[in-house]
């Protein structure tokens, strides 16, 4: 007689006898020893009536595979996941925590290429984009999920759905092909024009910022040294000089009036290293990668440019460029990797402005590498970090795309997937509730959404998010001091990041413009970024 626990394995660890439990654990131990890519968490169950022939199989705690299931390829789960009877999972498939998969469902993470009729299709090579399914997802019976699909957290795939497009977080989809039925998320996306009061409120904010620009610049200027600091009481930095230039250009249409323009130009140009052209300077913020951006654009706003060529790109061959990109920590620290690519891309832009020769093929190698390595499931480069979800991935995308595709005016490889990933990340309350926002995290979702706006994809959701974030941002301004890098809130009161300064002011002014443009009221602001955060391509 067939053991019913093979078909209802969720009852196994509560009802099976000791002998059956030992047999199951022994089978898992033997399988893991024989198959290097296999591992099992606590209280997992795999029916002996299932056909499991994976190259990689990693089951999180309390996950199970029922009788009749057929699995091949690479399958990875979080905790508390179920693969019910007669389900087929093949190819590269990764699911999060608490994903429940109904009987007779097929999740197929590969496909035949079928690129020619000269060769029978079953003889043509396979391709695999992979399938990624988030946390707390309910997949009904007889569902089909095709290769390349990403399913967001808390989604529901109704029984019989044929999923051919990415599913947003919280969406309930059904039908063939699957379409949105409704959203489980409580916030509805508004439609139509911006609220009538928003335009005047944005205009009033722009007027206030311009009227107080001199005060906030004076607040951060040390007359004795002739240098800007981010805020009173901290040391001057290279970045602070550049932030002051950006703010003055944005709000006053001129160089910071605290010093003659020529003196500011000479100082920034003089901080370049004579051998490499990197901006190291005498100040306490040695970040040559970001200085390529901030100093390069500050000099441009001042009507000048770098005094020396940037060896970062002028002395690096195409092969060396590829090796640098390969070595960056895309899968552990995607933001850090994007930070370096932003500097490389901007150094190429600066070199083109100056007329400095860049080794043959280096620029093509940079963009070719990015096109080849963009993940078609997320539209981005690298992987999420388990410690902070999508934060590293999205922030790294912003830096990478800003310095390359955006700066040079080139189309992104997977714009709709970028929108899916950014909107999923924007639902993470630990970063985007009003009292937990900081300028970096908000800018890094706003710029990608603005960059991909022409697709019209999920436009109502993008607009709803932009309206909410714009309302928040307008409330962060401190009179005559500007913006803090981090939004004030109960949890962050007293932190240095919540003190208004030049960096926060420069970044949030740009954020406000992008948000206002996404909801159609940017003209009311009376300013438009022209420096590091300029919306137009630099060339």
pLDDT of amino acid 113: 73
pLDDT of amino acid 1: 52
Residue 457 pLDDT > 70: yes
More confident site: 271 or 282: 271
> Residue 387 CB: number of other CB atoms within 10 A?
7
d(CA 279, CA 262): 18
d(CA 84, CA 99): 11
- Among 111-115, 265-269, 363-367, 528-532, the least confident range: 111-115
Q: Which of 125, 124, 147, 151 is nearest to 136 (CA)?
A: 151
Two structure tokens written together for 170: 């919280």
**What are the helix and strand counts (H, E) for the chain?**
17, 21
Please report the DSSP string for 177-210 in residue order.
TTEEEEESSSPPPP-SSPPTTHHHHHHHHHHHHH
- Among 2-6, 48-52, 289-293, the least confident range: 2-6
Q: What percent of the chain clears pLDDT 70, i.e. is strictly above it?
A: 96
Per-residue pLDDT tens over the stretch 199-230? 999 999 999 999 999 999 999 999 999 999 99
d(CA 176, CA 87): 19
Per-residue pLDDT tens over the stretch 522-539? 999 999 999 999 999 987
The verdict on whether 112 is a catalytic residue reads: yes
pLDDT of amino acid 491: 64
Phi/psi for 227 (5° steps) reads -125, 155
Two structure tokens written together for 525: 């602001």
d(CA 182, CA 188): 10
Per-residue pLDDT tens over the stretch 371-425? 999 999 999 999 888 788 899 999 999 999 999 999 999 999 999 999 999 999 9
Q: Mean per-residue pLDDT for 144-151?
A: 92
For residue 226, give the DSSP letter.
T
Which domains occur in the chain, in start order?
4-183 (2.160.10.10)
pLDDT of amino acid 165: 87
- Among 126-130, 262-266, 428-432, the least confident range: 126-130
Per-residue pLDDT tens over the stretch 318-366? 999 999 999 999 999 999 999 999 999 999 999 999 999 999 999 999 9
Confirm if 510 and 464 have CB atoms less than 8 A apart.
Answer: no
β pairing state of 144-145 and 171-174: unpaired
Which residues on neighbouring strands pair with residue 360, listed in sequence order?
none
β pairing state of 171-174 and 156-157: parallel
Two structure tokens written together for 400: 């990478």
Two structure tokens written together for 37: 């890519």
Residue 187 pLDDT > 80: no
pLDDT of amino acid 384: 87
Element (H, E) at 100: strand 100-101
d(CA 411, CA 356): 25
d(CA 536, CA 450): 11
For residue 374, give the DSSP letter.
-
Question: What are the C-alpha distances in Å from 249 to residues 58, 157, 253, 301, 303?
Answer: 54, 51, 4, 7, 11
d(CA 506, CA 421): 26
pLDDT of amino acid 189: 39
Q: Which of 427, 444, 428, 437 is nearest to 492 (CA)?
A: 437
Integer-rounded Cα radius of gyration of the chain: 27
Residue 190 pLDDT > 50: no
* Summary mean pLDDT of the chain: 92
Q: Mean per-residue pLDDT for 443-462?
A: 95
Q: Which of 76, 102, 98 is nearest to 88 (CA)?
A: 102
Which residues on neighbouring strands pair with residue 112, listed in sequence order?
126
pTM of the model: 0.67
Two structure tokens written together for 129: 């984009």
pLDDT of amino acid 23: 95
Two structure tokens written together for 279: 């901006």
**Catalytic residue among 104, 112, 373, 476, which?**
112
pLDDT of amino acid 39: 95
Which residues on neighbouring strands pair with residue 385, listed in sequence order?
389
Q: Mean per-residue pLDDT for 246-272?
A: 97
pLDDT of amino acid 94: 94
- Among 68-77, 156-165, 276-285, 431-440, the least confident range: 276-285
Burial of 533 (0-12, 13-18, 19+ CB in 10 A): buried
Confirm if 155 and 173 have CB atoms less than 8 A apart.
Answer: yes
Confirm if 33 and 53 have CB atoms less than 8 A apart.
Answer: no
Burial of 156 (0-12, 13-18, 19+ CB in 10 A): buried
């Amino acid at each position: 007689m067939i053991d019913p626990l093979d078909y209802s394995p969720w009852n196994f660890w509560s009802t099976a006898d000791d002998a059956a439990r030992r047999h199951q654990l022994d089978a898992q131990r033997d399988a893991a020893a024989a198959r290097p890519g296999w591992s099992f968490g606590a209280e997992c169950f795999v029916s002996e009536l299932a056909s499991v022939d994976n190259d990689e199989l990693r089951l999180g705690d309390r996950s199970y595979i029922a009788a009749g299931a057929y699995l091949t390829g690479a399958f990875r789960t979080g905790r508390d996941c179920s693969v019910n009877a007669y389900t087929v999972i093949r190819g590269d498939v990764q699911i999060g925590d608490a994903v429940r998969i109904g009987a007779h469902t097929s999740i197929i993470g590969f496909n035949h290429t079928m690129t020619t009729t000269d060769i029978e299709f079953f003889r043509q090579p396979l391709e695999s984009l992979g399938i990624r399914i988030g946390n707390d997802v309910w997949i009904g019976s007889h569902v089909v999920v095709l290769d390349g699909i990403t399913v967001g957290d808390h989604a529901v795939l109704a029984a019989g759905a044929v999923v051919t497009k990415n599913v947003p977080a919280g969406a309930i989809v059904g039908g063939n092909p699957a379409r949105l039925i409704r959203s489980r998320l409580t916030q509805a996306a508004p439609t139509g024009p911006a609220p009538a009061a928003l335009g005047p409120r944005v205009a009033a904010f722009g007027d206030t910022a311009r009227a107080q620009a001199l005060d906030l610049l004076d607040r951060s200027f040390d007359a004795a040294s002739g240098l800007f600091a981010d805020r009173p009481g901290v040391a001057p930095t290279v970045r602070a000089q550049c932030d002051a230039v950006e703010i003055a250009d944005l709000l006053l249409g001129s160089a910071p009036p605290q010093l003659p323009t020529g003196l500011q130009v000479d100082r920034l140009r003089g901080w370049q290293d004579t051998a490499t052209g990197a901006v190291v300077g005498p100040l306490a913020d040695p970040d040559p990668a970001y200085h390529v951006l901030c100093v390069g654009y500050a000099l441009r706003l001042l009507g000048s440019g770098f005094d020396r060529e940037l060896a970062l790109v002028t002395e690096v061959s195409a092969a060396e460029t590829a090796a640098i990109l390969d070595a960056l920590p895309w899968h552990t620290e995607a933001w850090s990797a994007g930070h370096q690519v932003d500097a490389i891309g901007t150094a190429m832009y600066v070199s083109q402005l100056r007329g400095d020769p860049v080794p043959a093929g280096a620029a093509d190698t940079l963009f070719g590498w990015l096109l080849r390595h963009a993940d078609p499931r997320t539209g981005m480069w690298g992987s999420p970090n388990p410690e902070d979800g999508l934060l590293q991935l999205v922030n790294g995308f912003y830096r990478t795309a800003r310095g390359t595709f955006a700066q040079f005016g080139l189309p992104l490889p997977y714009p709709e997937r970028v929108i899916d990933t950014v909107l999923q990340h924007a639902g993470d309350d630990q970063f985007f509730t009003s009292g937990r926002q900081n300028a970096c995290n908000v800018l890094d979702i706003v710029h990608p959404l603005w960059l991909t706006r022409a697709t019209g994809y999920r436009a109502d959701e993008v607009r709803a998010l932009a309206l909410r974030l714009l309302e928040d941002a307008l409330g962060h301004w401190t009179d005559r001091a500007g913006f803090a890098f981090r939004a004030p809130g109960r949890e962050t009161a007293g932190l240095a990041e919540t003190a208004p300064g030049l960096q926060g002011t420069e970044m949030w002014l740009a954020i406000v413009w992008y948000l206002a443009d996404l909801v159609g009221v940017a003209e009311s602001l009376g300013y438009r970024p022209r420096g590091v955060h300029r919306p137009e391509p630099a060339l």
